[in-house]
Structure 1
Amino acid sequence: MDSQRYLDCFASDFARLRTVAASAPDAEVPTCPPWTMTDLVRHVAQVYSHKAATMEHDARQPQPDLTGEDPPAALDRGYDKLLAQFGHRQPSDVTVTWFPPDQTVAFWIRRMAQETVIHRVDAELAAGVESAPIPRDLAVDGVDEVLERFLAFASHHFREDFAGALDDLTGQRVRVETGDSAWLVNLDSKVITLEAADGPADATVRADPETLLRWLWRRAAEDSVTTEGDQSAVDALYTVLKGATQ
């Protein structure tokens, strides 16, 4: 996906999130307990404002305190701030990120598109409305981001987020497949890695792109995917994903 495609998806999912959230501000968010919809909106507003400030100052920033602010208004301001940063800079421009291999504005464009589509799903689940489809290209890209950056990278650099779950891994190898795309996850207790997808695997997880993305982010039922092989290896992957996607 190129940056303009991410921005288009970002705009569409933000609009959907904003509309759905306004329809049920007090609804409980089943995928983010104990949040209400208002808490979800405040969280996304905080993320937007924080990332915009990070790019503006090209340095790590403290989390903004939105206490006492109207969450929908804060959400709109955060979104506008992000668009301002994305609008006057090139995707290739250098800026600080939490992922050392990619220190560019493009990193945040992709991350905000993926952040927004997942929280748009959260809002839909809270409001009890039919979920808008996740575009196939965005979903496949989201699967890649989860596995590469939130699972493999984070297992090395943010081990504490996994609350000890990594210690129980024994090198299980799980192939994750959707359409023509596949990833082989090596669940090593020292560090999770991605290997050549055609290598040997103990188990396979397979689903269409949207279902797989939702499953990885724990926004779909655990049995919504098709599995083959050693179920305990799949269970191990699902367990460590909780730390990666919290």
Structure 2
Amino acid sequence: MTHDVRVPLSTARYLDCLAADFDRLRSVATAADPGAAVPTCPDWTVADLVRHVGQVYVDKTHAIREGAETEWPPKGTQDAEPFALLDRAYADLREELTTRDPGDPAGGWYAPDRTVGFWIRRMAQETVIHRIDAELAAGQQVAPVPEDLAIDGIDELLKVFTQYAVSEWPDYFTDTLAGSPGRTVEIRALGTKAAAWRISTGPARFTVEDGPGDTPADLTLSAPPSALLQDLWNRRTPGEATRVTVTGPEAATTELRACLTIATQ
């Protein structure tokens, strides 16, 4: 089994995935009860989910056009009809993502990469996760995430969200990591496109390296890429047996999941 060093997907591939998951999200949400609860997003209904995705698209379009994200929620989005907002916002976002060079500057919270390319990747990953939310709210079977997109999404979650957040805003993680004895975690995506990550934790520390380590990890999580992405993003299907194999102490699992949750709130 070969564990590839992670490289971004092509711009065309991200845009194709974004389009496919947007279409799926919209189709599922349209057929669902707008008042149905979203089990993976407490206090949200399907209508709230649709509105949120539209608001995210508005915000990122502004980040690309103006070089800065807007106040949240973006002005004029709170009272808009959710699907009208979603369609308008997606059309505007799509225009920005397809008519600019990925290397063009854009505003954003992630200091290492303030480019249009960052938002191309981020919006593909944002949309697939919320597509899963829509499927779960509608009681539909979650469509598998393509292996390449799922592996990229795990990589983004671990590095862009969690590793970066712990390094930039350590105070948010004090309750979780201050008493950490220092642990190693191995994440293994098992499939045609296998991948692995090695995480090291400790007080104010969450670092990620590509590939498996040379020694056994304290905690190992392994599953096919799609199932692993869904699990790490806390999008597990209610009542369905997990496909993720966890080997290691419960305290290490709790620490890992707490870090991921804080980083993505």
Which consecutive residues of structure 2, in runs of 5 or more, have no partner in the other structure?
1-8
Task: Give, in angstroms, the shift of residue 245 of structure 1.
Answer: 2.7
Are residues 1:208 and 2:200 paired?
A: no
Match of 1:7 in 2: 15
Task: Give, in angstroms, the shift of residue 95 of structure 1.
Answer: 1.8
Task: Give, in angstroms, the shift of residue 76 of structure 1.
Answer: 0.7
Paired residues for 1:7-46 under 5 Å: 7-24=15-32, 25-46=34-55
Q: Which 4+ residue blocks in structure 1 deviate beyond 6 angstroms?
A: none
What secondary structure is seen at the aligned counterpart in 1 of 2:221?
A: strand
Any conservation in 1 of the 2:173–2:204 contact (CA below 8 Å)? no
Aligned counterpart for 2:59 among listed residues 34, 50, 53: 50
Match of 1:188 in 2: 202
Higher relative contact order (CA 8 A, sep 6+): 2
Read off the aligned partner of 2:46 and give its amino acid letter: M
Read off the aligned partner of 2:258 and give its amino acid letter: T
Match of 1:60 in 2: 69
Task: Give, in angstroms, the shift of residue 167 of structure 1.
Answer: 2.5
Mapped partners of 1:161, 1:75: distance in 2: 32
Read off the aligned partner of 1:188 and give its amino acid letter: G
Mapped partners of 1:158, 1:122: distance in 2: 27
RMSD: 1.7
What secondary structure is seen at the aligned counterpart in 2 of 1:142?
A: helix
Mapped partners of 1:94, 1:68: distance in 2: 31
What secondary structure is seen at the aligned counterpart in 1 of 2:108?
A: coil
Q: Deviations over 1:72-130 (max 9, x none)?
A: 10011110111111122011212222212212111000000000000000000000012
Are residues 1:225 and 2:239 paired?
A: no
Read off the aligned partner of 1:218 and give its amino acid letter: N
Which consecutive residues of structure 1, in runs of 5 or more, have no partner in the other structure?
none
Any conservation in 1 of the 2:182–2:203 contact (CA below 8 Å)? yes
Mapped partners of 2:88, 2:223: distance in 1: 37
What secondary structure is seen at the aligned counterpart in 2 of 1:174?
A: strand
Q: TM-score under structure 2 normalisation?
A: 0.87
Match of 2:142 in 1: 131
Match of 1:100 in 2: 111
What secondary structure is seen at the aligned counterpart in 2 of 1:95?
A: coil
Are residues 1:198 and 2:213 paired?
A: yes
Mapped partners of 1:134, 1:195: distance in 2: 23
Match of 2:100 in 1: 89
Task: Give, in angstroms, the shift of residue 161 of structure 1.
Answer: 4.7
Which range is displaced more, 107-116 or 62-71? Answer: 62-71
Any conservation in 1 of the 2:227–2:244 contact (CA below 8 Å)? yes
The structure with the greater share of residues assigned to helix is 1
Mapped partners of 1:85, 1:30: distance in 2: 32
